[in-house]
Amino acid sequence: MAKWEAAHIFEADPDAGKQKVMVTFPFPYMNGPLHVGHAFSASRVDAYARFKRMQGYNVLWPWAWHWTGQPLLGASQRVARGDQAYIRVLREVDGVPEEQLQKFVDPKYMAQYYTNEGRIAAKRVGFSVDWRREFTTVWPTFQKFIEWQYKNLKELGYVTRGTHPVVWCPKDQSPTGDHDRQSGEGVTPEEYTIIKYKLDENTVLPAATFRPETIYGITNLWINPDATYVEAAVNSENWIISQEAAEKLKEQEKTVVVNRVFKGRELIGKTFENPITHERLPILPGWFVDTKTATGVVYSVPAHAPFDWLALKDLQQKPEVMCDFGVDPQLVLQIKPVSIIKVDGFGEYPAVEIVEQMGIKDQQDPKAEQATKELYKKEFHSGKLRPNCGVYAGKSIREVKDQIIDDFRKLGIFDKMYDLSEQVVCRCMTPCMVKILSDQWFLNYSDAKWKEKAKEVIAQMKIYPENARTGFYTTIDWLKEWACARTTGFGTPLPWGKGWIIETLSDSTLYMAFYTINKHINQNKIPPEALIPEVFDYIYYGKGDKTQISATTNITIELLDSMRKEFLYWYPFDLRNSAKELVPNHLSFCIFHHAALFPPEHWPKGISVNGMLMVEGQGMHKSKGNFITLKGAIDKYGADATRCGLMIGAEGMDDPDWRADNVKDLKNKFDALTSFANNIITSAKQPENTALEHWLQNKLQHRIQEITENLDELKTRTALQTALFEVWNDLRWYIQRKGNTNAAILVDAIKIWIKMLTPFAPYMCEELWSQTGETSFISTAQWPKFDETKLDIAAEEQENLIIDILTDTQNILKATKITPKRLVFYTAATWKWQIYLRILEKASAGETKISELMKEFSSNPELKPYIKDIATLVPKVIKASTKLSSNRKINMVKIQIVDEKQVMQNSLDFLKDRFDVEVSVYSEDDKDRYDPKNRAPMAMPYQPAIYIE
RNA sequence: GCAGGGGUCGCCGAGCAUGGUCAAAGGCGUAGGCUUCAGGAGCCUAUCCUGCAGAGGUUCGUGGGUUCAAAUCCCACCCCCUGCACCA
């Protein structure tokens, strides 16, 4: 590590003579240490960077730190508050020393601590980063860049103003994000449609629902007779709602003045008007009505809602209940469900039928909930509205739901309100509610033209793996306005909005362009006040008069030009890699912002995504006690094993699983590899040039090709597996066959091998590289290039012959359980080759007709004497040929006749050694062969006959 | 609910786009042998079932279908994972 740093080999500057590759990794958020999850995604970036660097590219791999946002403040506050549980985590999981902990009351100190620790860990794990371009997102110079970015976005009309519902803590007076919650994680505001039924000319009964289309099937309202309701002026209308609802609506852009408080029973038996049909329907008692949900006013659709049907049935079976309210029971008994949806598999009243089918007894039955869900799903997807549904008749609910809401809202019959599906409690123990934030700033990702442009960016981009591409397209379609500013936390102030700070996911969308110039800003100590928008306009757009800009900013013209040149050289970035969880947000935002602010030639070239790291089969969480810091992993297993343990886990979108045993095992493997390689390096010096060496060379070429292709596709797992295990197995096989490690060619093989391992295990490879006598860095050595001239199909097929005969013999021994005294192999007679090769040739072309082949062979005078044997041989060869890959068939035809006897003879020592018996080889053509069972005639090309004594 | 990705021989995990070369790579684990004072590591062999001659049988979530031929293509179903907004 020290040598790399001293030699500055990872520092990259523009070089017109070299092709560039710029790779990036989303800067990590600094409220904690780097962990193995970061390391997984970043290791893949590093492996790619190192690979490309060795291929001769000028590679830039920059790094920075994300400080923007709320959690850092929250964390610091918890330390200040003396939150012991949290402090224990910092101490035991993050490994923060005691004297540092106390200073964490300052959030910036905390962030700086983690940044320093993170940098050390990133260097130790071997990331080949150009650290001269480093920054944190609270540096004033970076913030000038963000200001420029937002100024432009605003001018281009991508920033809008509007309202937005959030989960809100009334005590803290701030939004309550998932991380700020005591309970209710994942709960989001849900939009209810309110239907304004009229009690009388002046009074509204606003019933809340998720199924506004059922308005056509209403039979009555439910009011909880024992709950407290209020009469309140809501935006100048007189509403009857639950007491709780009155409080909620105050936060939802409504003025609410409560005029009267009363019990729900007061309303029972009264009637109200259906705003569509204008008929009057009754208000009935519903004890199941939860006044904490929405308005506390519920309307009944017994034909399609199981709960409504069950409640109505209850009441109809016990009409005397109505008498308690002084109401004529006839009011209940006369109610009939109104069917409005035709669904396959159901008749007139689906709710009634499903209740019967499932044997649901009453409202308390848990199956009622299930029935509701099931029925709604069916009705939503396959249901058609009946003729009594006005202009919507005949349509599916899916098609018209939004339309209905829209239409009736325009008529003033519908309104909306937000509520939570479950209770959310803030960390401060206050129950939360939904608040509509007004005057919010948004990035208008709804903008159709912007979406189109973003899709164009994707269309011209490489996506690794390719099947992640649809994810980007659907995200772009899906994204709506994004609140891009908030009032608390670290970050860049919104240039035009007092008190607003640009939100963390919105300030990290274009900054890769900042890396290209930040080297100059750092080195020349350019002050933030000099970084006026005109400077960035010049650097990024070539706009403006540099003489004038230089005069107003004191940045020299040369420096301005260097920065412009640097940007033009490196941009766009070629690769950005992260976990797939960032596809729906960060990565898509990055695409949107590039589409908005840069011309096509500066659009991103490639994005790659990978899975989420698991630890021993589970998600990694500090609270679960399975959190592994990068530093901890390096301390325990070393950098190389850590990197490889991560990368060998998965590629593509699969989630890798970090298993301590596997990583430990890798560490052992590297020790073994080191001594294996060292042993060869010190012992191999004989020049050897037999078929075996050709075989090894041939194999290596294939491996080079495989590994190179896979790395190019970011298939780091496959590449590493091939580089580590497959090549090792090839070398083992060679050594086994050869019987020693004397051949000088082995050292060359080792050099190729460790070069291909360098992107994954750079430390070990540097070490071994120097053992071979090299004085340069392997990190900058030339990546092995696939060389077709080193391929040797004959050597490959000869070796296959040996492998096949080995497998066959073992198979026989296993089946017969013979302990052999003697092994004899018989290679095929010369005339058989003519038949064999001719059939392979035909088979490669896909036309093996026995009759035609026989005709051809019998007309050949050379084959005349064997014609009887040929008749039995041909179908056998055809069958055997189907088991060969087309590649091998082609090769065999090319190679023509192999002197199998000679090849086997050369391998006799190996075979003897293997079976620990006397082994001999004859040709079928040999007259004086030892062949007591007359096996030789069974011999075929590439399949010698076997006799075991 | 909406969207995306998956289910392969003890485990992890290739293969599936372009059907035959697939009893299906590789790693781990397990068993035996070598090496070692011993353990570990390393090296070699085996590892779905059956088989006294290089073979056969049954497998790739479940059930159907297409095809001479399906882990691979089509349909239906079951199950698992991930994201869903002000939050990094």
Helix, strand, coil percentages, rounded to 5, for chain A: 50, 15, 30
pLDDT higher than 80, residue A612: yes
Q: pLDDT tens across A533-556, in order?
A: 999 999 999 999 999 999 999 999
Q: Round and report the angstrom distance from CA (A480) to C1' (B61).
A: 37
What's the confidence (pLDDT) of residue A846? 66
Q: Round and report the angstrom distance from CA (A863) to C1' (B85).
A: 80
Question: Containing H/E element for A946?
Answer: strand A945-948
Provide, rounded to the nearest whole percent, the portion of chain A with pLDDT above 70.
100
Q: pLDDT tens across A815-846, in order?
A: 887 788 888 999 999 888 888 888 888 777 76
Nearest nucleotide relative to A506: CA against C1' = B86
When pLDDT is cut at 50, 70 and 90, the band that residue A574 belongs to is very high
Annotate A226-260 with b (16+ C-beta within 10 A) or e (fewer): ebebbbbebeeebbbbbbbbbebbbbbebebeeee
Q: Round and report the angstrom distance from CA (A944) to C1' (B37).
A: 47
How far apart CA A488 and CA A476 sit, in angstroms, is 28
Nearest nucleotide relative to A579: CA against C1' = B82
Among the ranges A558-567, A667-676, A849-858, which has the highest mean pLDDT value? A558-567
Residue entry with tokens 């991103």: A604
pLDDT higher than 80, residue A801: yes
- Residue spans of alpha helices (H) in A583-622: 588-597
The per-residue pLDDT of chain A, averaged, comes to 89
CB A812 under 7 Å to nucleic chain B: yes
Give the residue nearest to nucleotide B82 (CA to C1'). A581
Q: Round and report the angstrom distance from CA (A302) to C1' (B26).
A: 61
Across A656-668, average pLDDT: 87
Cα first-last separation, chain A: 61
The letter for the amino acid at A359 is G
Of A522 and A356, which is predicted with more confidence? A522
What's the confidence (pLDDT) of residue A426? 82
pLDDT higher than 90, residue A811: no
* Cα separations in angstroms, A134 against A66, A139, A229, A299: 11, 11, 60, 60
Q: Round and report the angstrom distance from CA (A886) to C1' (B70).
A: 20
CB A585 under 7 Å to nucleic chain B: yes
**3-class SS letters over A403-467:** HHHHHHHHCCCEEEEEEECCCCEECCCCECEEEEEEEEEEECCCCHHHHHHHHHHHHCCEEECHH
Q: Round and report the angstrom distance from CA (A684) to C1' (B68).
A: 54
Question: Containing H/E element for A619?
Answer: strand A618-619
Judge contact between A232 and A248, C-beta under 8 A: no
CB A554 under 7 Å to nucleic chain B: no
Residues 6+ apart with CB under 8 A from A562: A520
Nearest nucleotide relative to A586: CA against C1' = B88
How far apart CA A555 and CA A301 sit, in angstroms, is 73
A491 DSSP 8-state letter: S
Across A53-70, average pLDDT: 95
Judge contact between A588 and A443, C-beta under 8 A: no
What's the confidence (pLDDT) of residue A651? 85
CB A584 under 7 Å to nucleic chain B: yes
When pLDDT is cut at 50, 70 and 90, the band that residue A97 belongs to is very high
Name A residues 857-886 whose Cβ lies under 7 Å from strand B. Answer: 882-886
How far is Cα of residue A916 from the mean position of the Cα atoms in its chain? 53
- Residue A208: phi and psi, rounded to 5, are -100, 145
pLDDT higher than 70, residue A847: no
Across A15-31, average pLDDT: 95
- The torsion of the CA quartet A506, A511, A513, A518, rounded to 10 degrees, works out to 150
CB A740 under 7 Å to nucleic chain B: no
CB A948 under 7 Å to nucleic chain B: yes
Q: Round and report the angstrom distance from CA (A160) to C1' (B73).
A: 49
How far is Cα of residue A458 from the mean position of the Cα atoms in its chain? 16
* Cα separations in angstroms, A198 against A231, A258, A283, A880: 13, 18, 12, 86
Of A175 and A583, which is predicted with more confidence? A583
C-beta pairs of A92-98 under 8 Å, 24+ apart in sequence: A93/A622, A93/A627, A93/A629, A94/A32, A94/A33, A94/A629, A95/A33, A95/A629, A95/A631, A95/A632
Judge contact between A839 and A881, C-beta under 8 A: yes
CB A188 under 7 Å to nucleic chain B: yes
CB A161 under 7 Å to nucleic chain B: no
Q: pLDDT tens across A138-174, in order?
A: 999 999 999 999 999 999 999 998 888 888 888 877 7
pLDDT higher than 90, residue A631: yes
Nearest nucleotide relative to A914: CA against C1' = B44
Q: Round and report the angstrom distance from CA (A604) to C1' (B70).
A: 40
Helix axes A908-915, A793-816, angle to 10 degrees: 30
What's the confidence (pLDDT) of residue A322? 87
Can you give the pTM of this predicted structure? 0.87
CB A186 under 7 Å to nucleic chain B: yes
Q: Round and report the angstrom distance from CA (A119) to C1' (B82).
A: 30
Among the ranges A345-354, A462-471, A583-592, A659-668, which has the highest mean pLDDT value? A583-592
How far is Cα of residue A396 from the mean position of the Cα atoms in its chain? 35
Q: Round and report the angstrom distance from CA (A610) to C1' (B17).
A: 20
Across A111-120, average pLDDT: 96
CB A282 under 7 Å to nucleic chain B: no
Q: pLDDT tens across A476-528, in order?
A: 988 988 989 888 889 999 998 778 899 999 999 999 999 999 999 999 999 99
Write out which nucleotides of chain B lie closer than 7 A to a protein Cβ: 1-6, 12-14, 20-22, 25-29, 41-46, 51-55, 81-88
Q: Round and report the angstrom distance from CA (A374) to C1' (B5).
A: 25
Q: pLDDT tens across A297-340, in order?
A: 999 999 988 889 999 988 888 888 888 888 888 888 889 999 99
Name A residues 47-86 whose Cβ lies under 7 Å from strand B. Answer: 66, 68-71
How far apart CA A593 and CA A499 sit, in angstroms, is 24
Q: Is A748 strand, coil or helix?
A: helix
Among residues A370, A309, A357, A364, the alpha carbon closest in space to that of A336 is found at: A309
Residue A401 tokens read as 């739901």
Across A236-260, average pLDDT: 91
Q: Is A38 strand, coil or helix?
A: helix
